[in-house]
Amino acid sequence: MSERFAPPVIPLVDLRHTTMPPPEPGDGAELAPKGLPIDTLGRNLRDLRISVTDRCNFRCSYCMPKEIFDKDHTYLPHTSLLSFEEIVRIARQFVNLGVQKIRLTGGEPLLRKNLERLVEQLSKLRTMDGSPLDLTLTTNGALLAKKAKALQAAGLHRVTVSLDGLDDTVFRRMNDVDFPVAAVLDGIYAAQEAGLGPIKVNMVVKRGTNDQEILPMARHFKGRGIVLRFIEYMDVGVTNGWRMDDVMPSEEVIKRIASELPLVSLEPTSSGETAQRWGFADESGAHDISAGEIGVISSVTKAFCGDCNRARLTTEGQLYLCLFANRGYDLRSLLRGNVTDEEMALAIGNIWRQRTDRYSELRSTITPDKRAGARRVEMSYIGG
Give the model's pLDDT for residue 265. 97
Q: What is the Cα–Cα distance from 221 to 83, expressed in whole angstroms?
A: 37
Q: How far is CA 41 from CA 171, 338, 349, 356, 358, in A?
A: 40, 32, 15, 7, 9
CB of 66 closer than 8 Å to CB of 176 = yes
Of 105-119, 192-206, 314-328, the poorest mean pLDDT is in: 314-328
Q: What is the Cα–Cα distance from 154 to 148, expressed in whole angstroms?
A: 10
CB of 143 closer than 8 Å to CB of 30 = no
Identify residue 130 by its one-letter amino acid code: G
Q: What is the pTM of this model?
A: 0.86
Angle at the Cα of 241 from the Cα atoms of 249 and 365, rounded to 5 degrees: 60
The string of pLDDT tens digits covering residues 62-97 is 788 888 888 888 888 988 999 999 999 999 999 999
Give the model's pLDDT for residue 21. 65
- At 252 the three-state DSSP class reads helix
The string of pLDDT tens digits covering residues 220-271 is 999 999 999 999 987 654 555 557 788 999 999 999 999 999 999 999 887 6
Q: Smallest Cα–Cα separation from 361: which of 285, 293, 305?
A: 305
pLDDT greater than 60 at residue 27: no
Give the model's pLDDT for residue 9. 27
pLDDT greater than 70 at residue 352: yes
Q: What is the Cα–Cα distance from 185 to 169, expressed in whole angstroms?
A: 15
Give the model's pLDDT for residue 300. 82
The CATH number assigned to the domain with range 19-382 reads 3.20.20.70
Give the model's pLDDT for residue 236. 57
Give the model's pLDDT for residue 324. 76
**What is the mean predicted confidence (pLDDT) over 351-367?**
74
Give the model's pLDDT for residue 235. 65
Q: What is the Cα–Cα distance from 217 to 164, expressed in whole angstroms?
A: 9
Give the model's pLDDT for residue 34. 57
Upstream peptide bond of 7 is cis (omega within 30 degrees of 0): no
How much is the mean pLDDT over the chain?
A: 86
Give the model's pLDDT for residue 295. 97
pLDDT greater than 70 at residue 275: yes
Q: What is the Cα–Cα distance from 225 to 203, expressed in whole angstroms?
A: 17
Indicate the burial class of 181 (C-beta count within 10 angstroms; 0-12, 13-18, 19 or more). buried
Task: Using a pLDDT cut of 70, give the percent of the chain over it.
Answer: 81
**What is the mean predicted confidence (pLDDT) over 132-144?**
97
Q: What is the Cα–Cα distance from 350 to 321, expressed in whole angstroms?
A: 12
Count H helices and E strands in the chain, helices first. 12, 13
Q: Which residues pair with 49 in a beta bridge?
A: 103, 312
**What is the mean predicted confidence (pLDDT) over 194-220?**
96
Mode of pairing for the β-strands spanning 328-330 and 318-320: antiparallel
CB of 145 closer than 8 Å to CB of 122 = no
CB of 144 closer than 8 Å to CB of 159 = yes
Q: What is the Cα–Cα distance from 318 to 314, expressed in whole angstroms?
A: 5
CB of 47 closer than 8 Å to CB of 313 = no
Q: Which residues pair with 200 in a beta bridge?
A: 160, 227
pLDDT greater than 80 at residue 289: yes
pLDDT greater than 80 at residue 122: yes
Of 19-23, 326-330, 371-375, the poorest mean pLDDT is in: 371-375
pLDDT greater than 80 at residue 141: yes
Q: What is the Cα–Cα distance from 135 to 121, expressed in whole angstroms?
A: 11
Give the orientation angle of helix 115-122 with respect to helix 144-154, to 10 degrees: 30
Greater pLDDT, 168 or 4: 168
**What is the mean predicted confidence (pLDDT) over 370-384?**
57
Q: Which residues pair with 162 in a beta bridge?
A: 202
Give the total residue count for the chain. 384
Give the model's pLDDT for residue 13. 36
Upstream peptide bond of 22 is cis (omega within 30 degrees of 0): no
Q: Which residues pair with 280 in a beta bridge?
A: 263
Q: What is the Cα–Cα distance from 278 to 347, expressed in whole angstroms?
A: 40
Give the model's pLDDT for residue 361. 60
Enter the DSSP assignment of 12. Answer: P
pLDDT greater than 50 at residue 7: no
